[in-house]
Amino acid sequence: MTRKVFVTGSFDMLHSGHVAFLKEAATYGELYVGIGSDATMEHLKGRFPVTHQDERRYMIEALACGLPVLAFDTGSLMELVTPDVGFVGPYGSDAWKLERPEVAGLVPGAEQVLKDWATFSRAARARAERLFGLEEMVNHYLEVLLG
């Protein structure tokens, strides 16, 4: 019987440390990830998250599978999602006021990704491994800790 491993986190402003944590947790069994809701984060941290809970969930799922990413230009997504691995479209309204995004802004990216899914998928997985692989993470931590 496969061991089930459950971890939780806010994963707001998703970064390489989060990915390293998830990769390590997955070595212990079948990984399940709980993402803190916006309301829970506000309660526990005293601030509203930078990235909406649905986008945080989407990013975790995409990284885990090597999926091409379609996302709105909020938080750090512009840094994570390069044109070869997906598309970051305009939010189209005020994310800080929690206005609904304009989904039509993602249509050009969706069309582009669907035309060449396999290429985007391979590039997404390669980028995740390159940026968030164990060796890369260790090197970054050593650089920060040792200078």
Contact partners, residue 106, CB within 8 Å, separation at least 6:
70, 71, 72, 87, 89
| Residue 121 pLDDT exceeds 80 | yes
Q: Tell me, what CATH number does 89's domain have?
A: 3.40.50
Domain count along the chain: 1
**Token digits of residue 107:** 């249509």
Give the H/E segment covering residue 145.
helix 134-146
Burial (0-12, 13-18, 19+ Cβ within 10 Å), 117: exposed
Residue whose structure tokens are 């969706």: 110
Structure confidence by residue, pLDDT tens digits, 16-67: 788 788 888 888 887 777 788 888 888 888 888 888 888 887 777 776 666 7
The 10 Å Cβ neighbour count of residue 128 is 20
Average pLDDT, the chain: 81
Give pLDDT, residue 38.
83
Give mean pLDDT, residues 91-114. Answer: 86
| Residue 135 pLDDT exceeds 80 | no
pTM of the predicted structure, to 2 decimals: 0.55
What is d(CA 136, CA 15) in angstroms, rounded to the nearest whole number? 13
Give pLDDT, residue 35.
80
Give pLDDT, residue 63.
65
User: 1 near 62, Cβ under 8 Å?
Assistant: no
Give pLDDT, residue 64.
62
Give mean pLDDT, residues 87-113. Answer: 86
| Residue 142 pLDDT exceeds 70 | yes
Q: Which structural domain, as residue segments, surrounds residue 70?
A: 4-146
Q: Dihedrals φ, ψ of 139, to 5°?
A: -60, -40
